[in-house]
Structure 1
């Protein structure tokens, strides 16, 4: 890469201040709005059953391109895009009747089934979780390439030291969602007493199976960046550290906290404790100035201090995500009547979103004599950042759950039953594209990084106009979607 062009690229993503939380909320609301329209089309018109070419194109337009347009062409008018998506949904609701779902009769349970050793029902499978994780994956994949073009506003790119931006939120949301899905294995293990039977060493060894692929990807990215002279933003994570290392080191560290959870059986408390202690260290010692302004020394810690110390904030985010996942997937909820199950999940998500929002406001603002007035910093991953990410993701989960509850009431039953009818209801309420992005998350994310690198090495992204940029981005989004659908059709699951 030409040195002068490389300098321009680095300057293009450096020293930015971010944008407002309200605008970020408006842009990210496009995902629930798109899912709402998709759900209305499916629940009222069965538009995506069977999955025809028209259904595929519409699915792609709603769940992929709408997010791309929200962050590019409609970046200055996100509320208009939301209205354009929601209005047709309401028109369909006013001019159609709910679809009646045929319920298959279930055979009566035998005495063995009722009292035998295998009577435990599997954990509930919530389509809204698939939707949430896939939407997060799509916006992440779009942003990592779109940020290199002028059509992607600079206020959406990562802030340098302080501030809130769309990409700052995306990084934290990626970690939070990982914490949410990690709760499934934890709930299963707790039910069978597995964590109590395994030693810490055994749990750490088991967690490394998830870590090693991510750490290898981190090393590959490090090698590629250094040897291809790819433009890099050193103050983002450090000289050698990258986001794959953060993701890779999370599983073993979380296992350590699983031991603490025996004495403090609340991941909310553990998450808050990590965030508070880290924030106290930032405010009461020289740690903050060391991370932000100290010269880089020759040692590895000094060269990678952003990645090393921000890891504590991401650990708190992961633990917060696991707390949310446990509440969603708990065995108690799945044993309740269907309507009570969804009501309880919605209530928990709403309470957690409001609680985190209140704490975030007290941390980052000052009004009526209250509040710490600490600015958000993704670079530090400080406490306001942790609370902002937790509040946003709980609110997003609440919206997706609410849409599913209202649009597919027949599916409001825990997926405890393994009958064909339950699988059909789940498939009926889930976008084919979103399901594919969720199942192939690791492969899609890796491919997105490879394609991003390929585009930047072959196309002068700073010098193309907006029309050319959109052609490249639409082609990129279509390629990712095609790969995800191909992996799903081949029944290959490589989720994060």
Structure 2
């Protein structure tokens, strides 16, 4: 880059920095927390109905309707009609809990006595069991993501919840980062399996598998690129660039993660790798012209046209590694060899989750505080270090909240001693709707993107009033949920 070009970029960046306040269009973090708290609060009501009234067992059409209202419609209301008063919605969801506990329990159906089956201890059978609170966390994240990508096109969805241009925080900014973080949590499972088996996969094999896994995502990226350009769909170039999109980011993650798994031998902590990568990227942003280049450079070639997607990839990779770090201690049955009972293991898990949540929050405050910290600003466009820490803190805290709800209402999940008991406890504690979203998450997300495109091509969304918008969003959410639950009922898993 010539000195003249560098000077032009620096001048443009200086002007952009002076106009910082106008770019800070995102909502406050506190407001985002109140809105996203609706998912754990709705789970409290769902859990009370299940434990006190066995409302979702058996799973009838009425059960599905209530499940849908609590775990999908409540989130929709929080981001639209109750966006300015999410605390009121949370109170309305919590209020019926006291009434449910005041009602008498239904009589238990007597089951014929049968000899207990000879099953192996669940501990020896599956060291990486399915955990309801993780299923619910991922399911709720997918629900809010699928709803927001269409709701943002209507006036009823507050502009402060939409993705910000340069600096600041918003609901949709936390959504895209959470999608990557949750994927990282799940990606810890094959690594844990390797460790339990005492095996290590060669780098060439890992790269081959990762590239094979990436191909469908990259194909989806090109399909989205063609559809957006071909149909002249509205897009924000400053989000990822002219051609780049979120599917490309997801598609390039696996090969890079295969390389970072090798680096794990030198830095035996995925959280450490995440912080190191985020810090090096932040140093490059602050002490070179990289930040100015990303924000203000002219789009003269393929690289500069897609600079946001290319450079923000490093931030998303750090978020994925932070998610893997969480998955490494959340997924295993045993967190500590010294804890012998399920209750002790759960207590250790809750304390560990709480400690990591506090750690990420402390780092975030250290980097963003203007008086005692580094005075850095969150930027989803850059996916800088504060953004990485914000997403890690938010998701760790969300997982902790879901874990606490499960621990209080469903102690049978972590006290089960046989595979059969564990399966029954899992089904009892897991919303069928959120289980369905989690099971085919990426496919459901793809269908939601297609649905969003169809609605935008057939409806002038900005001209639709509040009632019409809620009607369209309700039908859209219902169809997506029906598809997800239908696939789950027939045992269909579409891996992408």
1:44 maps onto 2:52 in alignment? yes
Partner of 1:457: 457
Please state how far the C-alpha of 1:475 moved relative to its aligned partner: 0.4
SS of aligned partner of 1:161: coil
Partner of 1:253: 256
1:237 maps onto 2:240 in alignment? yes
The answer to whether the Cα contact below 8 Å between 1:338 and 1:413 also exists between their aligned partners in 2 is yes
The answer to whether the Cα contact below 8 Å between 1:438 and 1:495 also exists between their aligned partners in 2 is no
Q: 1:132 to 1:105 in 2, by over 3 A?
A: farther
Structure 1 runs of 4+ with >4 Å offset: 94-110
Partner of 2:432: 432
Q: 1:301 to 1:413 in 2, by over 3 A?
A: farther
TM-score normalized with structure 1 length = 0.90
Partner of 1:132: 137
Partner of 1:190: 195
Q: 1:109 to 1:478 in 2, by over 3 A?
A: closer
Partner of 1:361: 365
SS of aligned partner of 1:160: coil
Partner of 2:466: 466
SS of aligned partner of 1:265: coil
Partner of 1:5: none
Provide the aligned C-alpha RMSD in A: 2.3
SS of aligned partner of 2:300: coil
Please state how far the C-alpha of 1:442 moved relative to its aligned partner: 1.7
Q: Deviations over 1:434-478 (max 9, x none)?
A: 111110112211100000001111111111111111111000000
Question: Residues 25-424 of structure 1 correspond to what in structure 2 (within 5 A)?
Answer: 25-93=33-101, 121-194=126-199, 196=200, 198-298=201-301, 300-330=302-332, 332-333=334-335, 336-367=340-371, 370-413=372-415, 417-419=418-420, 421-424=421-424
Distance (whole Å) between structure 2 residues aligned to residue 105 and residue 172 of structure 1: 49
Alignment gaps of 5+ in structure 2: 1-21
Distance (whole Å) between structure 2 residues aligned to residue 327 and residue 494 of structure 1: 27
Partner of 1:11: none
Distance (whole Å) between structure 1 residues aligned to residue 276 and residue 383 of structure 2: 14
SS of aligned partner of 1:333: coil
The answer to whether the Cα contact below 8 Å between 2:365 and 2:373 also exists between their aligned partners in 1 is yes
Worse-matched range after superposition: 315-324 or 46-55:
46-55
Distance (whole Å) between structure 2 residues aligned to residue 206 and residue 219 of structure 1: 21
Q: Deviations over 1:239-298 (max 9, x none)?
A: 000000001111111111100112211111111000110100100100000000111112
SS of aligned partner of 1:492: coil
Please state how far the C-alpha of 1:167 moved relative to its aligned partner: 0.1
The answer to whether the Cα contact below 8 Å between 2:239 and 2:308 also exists between their aligned partners in 1 is yes
Distance (whole Å) between structure 2 residues aligned to residue 165 and residue 495 of structure 1: 30
Distance (whole Å) between structure 2 residues aligned to residue 331 and residue 431 of structure 1: 21
Partner of 2:27: 19
Alignment gaps of 5+ in structure 1: 1-13
Q: 1:444 to 1:343 in 2, by over 3 A?
A: same
Distance (whole Å) between structure 1 residues aligned to residue 266 and residue 209 of structure 2: 22
Q: Deviations over 1:318-365 (max 9, x none)?
A: 000000010112353286411012111111111111111111011111
Distance (whole Å) between structure 1 residues aligned to residue 470 and residue 128 of structure 2: 42
Give aligned pairs, total: 471
SS of aligned partner of 1:315: helix
Distance (whole Å) between structure 1 residues aligned to residue 413 and residue 485 of structure 2: 24
The answer to whether the Cα contact below 8 Å between 1:440 and 1:495 also exists between their aligned partners in 2 is yes
Please state how far the C-alpha of 1:366 moved relative to its aligned partner: 2.1
Please state how far the C-alpha of 1:47 moved relative to its aligned partner: 0.6
Distance (whole Å) between structure 2 residues aligned to residue 96 and residue 273 of structure 1: 55
Distance (whole Å) between structure 1 residues aligned to residue 119 and residue 69 of structure 2: 44
The answer to whether the Cα contact below 8 Å between 2:185 and 2:323 also exists between their aligned partners in 1 is yes
Q: Deviations over 1:160-183 (max 9, x none)?
A: 000000000000000000000111
Distance (whole Å) between structure 1 residues aligned to residue 327 and residue 342 of structure 2: 18
